Structure formats: C-alpha cells, structure tokens
Amino acid sequence: MSIKPLSGSNIVVDLVISAGFIITMESSGSVLTNHSVVIDQGRIIDILPNDAANKYAAKQHVHRPEHAILPGFVNAHGHSAMTLFRGLADDLALMDWLNHHIWPAEQRCVDSGFTMHGTELAIMEMIRSGTTTFCDQYFFPESAAKAAEKNFLRCRLNTPVLDFPSAWAQSADEYIDKGLALYEQYQSHPLISVALGPHAPYTVSDKPLIKIRDASEKHHIGIHMHLNETAHEVKEAVRLTGMRPIERLHQLGLLSERFQAVHMTQISDAEITRLSESGSQVIHCPESNLKLASGLCPVHRLQEAGINVALGTDGAASNNDLNMVSELRTASLIAKLVDHDATALPAYEALKLATINGATALGIDDEVGSVTIGKSADLISIDLSAPELQPLYNPVSQIVFSAGRENISDSWVAGKQLMNQRQLSFMDEGEIINNAKLWQQKIANIT
C-alpha cells in the first residue's frame, strides 16, 4: 500500500469519511462518536476522532455529521434473479408455490438474459437497502457474476445442484462440473467467490451429495443448502429415508464449518448439538419463513449452542423484497417471541447477524463484516436525522427498530462509492426498470 506524504506532514489518501457515529461491530456495543474512517486503495487504514483526521490529506472527504457509518450488510441467502418473479405467486404454501408456480415458470422463462436482468434489478434494490455483499443461488450463475462484476457489488455465488434437469444443466454431475469450472474462473477475483449450492435434501440424492462433499474438502469451498425449511420436508425425509435430513447429511459427511444450512425452522435439541459440533453455519430468513408459513428458526437457542447465525432475505418471489433493514427488525422480534424473552436477540446482536456473522458464515470475515483497520472498505451510511428517528438515544437500537432502507444514504464497496445520498453512482435505473417490465410482459404471457 503506497501512502505518500505531501510537502507538509499530511498523508495523501483516497477517502476520509467523517461521521457522527461509527458502529464498528468489532466488540459488543462498540460505537464511536464523532470519528472518521480513513480509506486508501480500497482498504481501511485508520479510524480516529474527527478532530484528528486532518493528519490525512484526502482526495475526497465525505462529511456525514448526523449519520452512522457501519459495515455494509451481508445478505447471506437469496435468489437474486427471482426479482423478476416478484408477486407472481403470493399467499401459497411452499410446496404448492414451488411445484405449481415457480418451477413451471422457471422452465418456461429462465435463461442467461433472465438471470442477468433479474440480478441487476436485485443489485439495484440491494444497494438501496444497504447490502454490500450478497450470497446468491440460482441458474446461470455466470450471468449473476457478470452483473455483480459490472456493478461492483461483492458476491458469493452458490452454483445450483439438482437431480433433475434445467435450462442450465441436464444432470447432477453437469451442475457440479459447471460449478467447479466457475469456481476456478473466479478463484482470484477480488469481489466474486464461488461455492456449491445443492438445493435441498429432497432434490439432491446421495451420490451427488458425496461428490459435493469431496469437492468441498478438496477445494475448501462452501456448501450452501436449504435445510429443515418445513415440517413437511422433515416428515417426508423420515418416510423416504428413515432419517431426518440433518442425520442423513451427517452420515454423508457434509456437515462442517464450510456448510451453510438455510432456514432451519424445524430443529431438535440433538440436531442443534450436531450442528454445533460440526461447526456448521445457519442462515436465518425470517420474513420468507413467515410469508410461506414455514416455521420459526430458534435463533437464540442456536446462538446459545455456539452456532453462528447469519441473516438473509431469500428471493423476492417469496419475501417479497431484499430489504435487510426490515429483516433485522423482524429477526429480533421473532426471536423474542419464540423464546418468550424480551431480552433475546437485542439490537446489537441482531445487527451482527447482518454484518460480521454473515461474513463469518461465508468465510470472508477477514475481509468484511466490521469497520476494522486492514479490512476492505465495504461500508454504508445511515441518516439518523429524519423525524421518525428522533429523539436519538442509541443509534444501534434506532437502526434496528426504527429505521427504514430509505434512511440509508451512501454505500461503498472496496472504497468505491456505489450510492451517494440515495443517488446510484453507476447503475442505469431507467434501463434496468425497463428490462424488468419487458420480462413482466413475457412472463405474464406464458404463465
């Protein structure tokens, strides 16, 4: 990193952001008042009081005196291109929704253009909602990678694996081989990484799961899977295999610190112990679970067992938005109700689900998830001056329980500003919305 002094004593850097609050997520309740974050070559190189920031000569100095700066949200589970199915099949049970509406629509509509345009629409929404890293699982992931790369958003792609064919692949082996080829292609990319995404225990048989396990161990890459999403799923697994899904995955050797279990609304104490002992991660999608009446993830019990829990929105076809601010509040409120304990998942712990816990689940916590010297400058700014956020006693509580995504003013990924006071820096909003409308007309005509 080259930081050159001026003729005087100041040090030239790319960017200084001075704010009313810095919520670092480094330790419990860590909030700095009237501090600045110093950024050079995309990384955080210093955090210091505002009145000391003049030791740096910034090429750009952003002043946000009534704002909080915090790590950008890590949306740890979603299907970005499914924004183009938003509102297509609402108010249905999960298996009815999948079997009779979503899967038939995908068979008729999904191609590389669908994924590209749907992902761009999702990226625009996610930037406006404070997400700086998204974890995606959908067909034609190479198109999602291009969309993320084009628009500078950090992305983890979980390439899909199913027993049955789709427009992207014809067999489980082909899904896996294509996924591993994409992993090789993006292995050294600064913003995009690739893992394997077997859809669910009821759509992937033992042989491909064993192949996925072996690939994960060989390449040290993640496995991202819907698991124990509904009571029906678990009941059917027992009927067909004689085992609950988690026991089957344990026997196949899939559970490890690289395994991310998505949803987990149906879980026994023994299964909590199994996940904890294996080091597996859990991705909580509270609003999707509520809308599909799938169940409630026992977040507090999982955390008490030492399991890392992260937060995701799921896809816009089942949520119906990609709003991590709303997801934060819902997660905290559900946790209190599930445990009948108003102290369960307090505001700071809820914020961890969306930041450092998400980064940990994806294995990128050395790069993002906290405002830490040496990490990438993936940051957001939240305007706390709005009338609905007054009076201000605790900025963390205000963000979790009172703020909306409209209060997010700015976004940076690796020091590059993607949104400046609600204005997108690089995306063509009109073109992206027009593409969505064209897809709506096409989908409506063939479904």
List the domains of the chain with CATH numbers: 11-71+367-424 (2.30.40.10), 73-361 (3.20.20.140)
What CA–CA distance (Å, rounded) separates 21 from 89?
42
At 79 the pLDDT is 98
At 55 the pLDDT is 93
Q: 3-class DSSP state for residue 69?
A: strand
Q: pLDDT by residue (tens digit) across 184-206?
A: 999 999 999 999 999 999 999 99
At 9 the pLDDT is 58
At 5 the pLDDT is 41
The one-letter amino acid code at 381 reads: S
Report residue 182 CA to chain centroid gap.
Answer: 20
What CA–CA distance (Å, rounded) separates 410 from 125?
13
SS3 content of the chain, % helix, strand, coil (to 5): 40, 25, 35
Q: How many C-beta neighbours within 10 Å does residue 201 have? A: 28
Nearest residue to 69 via CA among 35, 107, 27:
35
Encoded tokens for 321: 């938005």
Helices marked H in 153-230: 172-185, 206-219
At 445 the pLDDT is 87
In degrees to the nearest 10, what's the CA dihedral of 180, 176, 311, 290?
A: 160
User: Which letter does DSSP use for residue 196 in this model?
Assistant: E
Say if pTM beats, i.e. exceeds, 0.75.
yes
Preceding peptide of 320 cis, ω within 30°: yes
Q: pLDDT by residue (tens digit) across 347-406?
A: 999 999 999 999 999 999 999 999 999 999 999 999 999 999 999 999 999 999 999 999
At 157 the pLDDT is 98
Do residues 302 and 228 make contact, with C-beta atoms less than 8 angstroms apart?
A: no
At 10 the pLDDT is 86
Strand-pairing partners, residue 31, are 23
**In which residue ranges of the chain is pLDDT below 50?**
1-8
